[in-house]
Amino acid sequence: MNIRPAIPDDAAALLAIYAPYVEDTAITFEYEVPTEEEFRQRIVHICEKYPYLVAEEEGRIVGYAYASAFKARAAYQWAVETSIYVDRQKKRKGIGRKLHDALEEALKTQGILNMNACISYTESEDEHLTLDSVHFHERLGYQRVAHFHLCGKKFGRWYDMIWMEKIIGEHL
């Protein structure tokens, strides 16, 4: 597996991975699949300041991870929000872990100290949302720091949202 920086020309391949999450899951609260051009602009915007990585197997993109601003104000500059998406046919093969580890290393070199993950949550799993993402982040050393109740509605059902945090540097 090769992990490399994303480029705008990866937009179609990354969107092909992301679209099923929008259409079939409550993992993202986005309702409409973005256009390829909109997705391309998202990549460009994120790459201006933060790492955006793709995982390739045999020349095919199978997952991606990126960081974005946690909050816009200057006092938050040492914290980021992270996102990881893996081709649903390739889940549970270590791709997400490799992407996360590479993202964490890249963020450390930028002086980032806190990695935050905003995760859709439900007490009872359904066909649109499992607790896989929560367990994934727990295995990576994240801790739950916030729980917001019934804040996102998708597929006619209300879902919670939790924030999980991993400290990756020393706060001096």
Q: Is residue 91 part of a domain?
A: yes
Q: What's the order of all strands across the beta sheet hosting 114-121?
A: 2-5, 52-57, 60-69, 79-86, 114-121, 157-167, 143-154
Q: Is residue 71 part of a domain?
A: yes
Contact by Cβ (8 Å): 10, 40: no
Give, in order, the Cα–Cα distances in Å from 127 to each of 24, 26, 154: 8, 9, 12
Q: Is residue 141 part of a domain?
A: yes
Quick one: how far is CA 39 from the chain centroid? 14
Pairing of strands 52-57, 2-5: antiparallel
Direct distance between the N- and C-terminal alpha carbons of the chain, in angstroms, rounded to an integer: 36
Report the residue count for the chain: 172
Kindly state the DSSP code that residue 16 receives in the 8-state scheme: H
Q: Which domain holds residue 150?
A: 2-167
* CA separation for the pair 132, 121 (Å, rounded): 10
Q: What is the pLDDT of residue 39?
A: 97
The closest alpha carbon to 129, from 38, 29, 27, belongs to 27
The CATH number for 110's domain is 3.40.630.30
| DSSP states of 102-162 | HHHHHHHHTT--EEEEEEEE-SS-BTTB-SHHHHHHHHTT-EEEEEEEEEEEETTEEEEEE
Dihedral pair phi/psi, residue 77, rounded to 5° = -65, -15
Total structural domains within the chain: 1
Q: Is residue 172 part of a domain?
A: no
Q: Is residue 127 part of a domain?
A: yes
* CA separation for the pair 25, 127 (Å, rounded): 8
Average pLDDT of adjacent 10-residue blocks, the chain of 172 residues: 97 98 98 98 98 96 98 96 96 94 98 98 96 97 98 98 98 94
Q: What is the pLDDT of residue 92?
A: 86
Q: Is residue 55 part of a domain?
A: yes
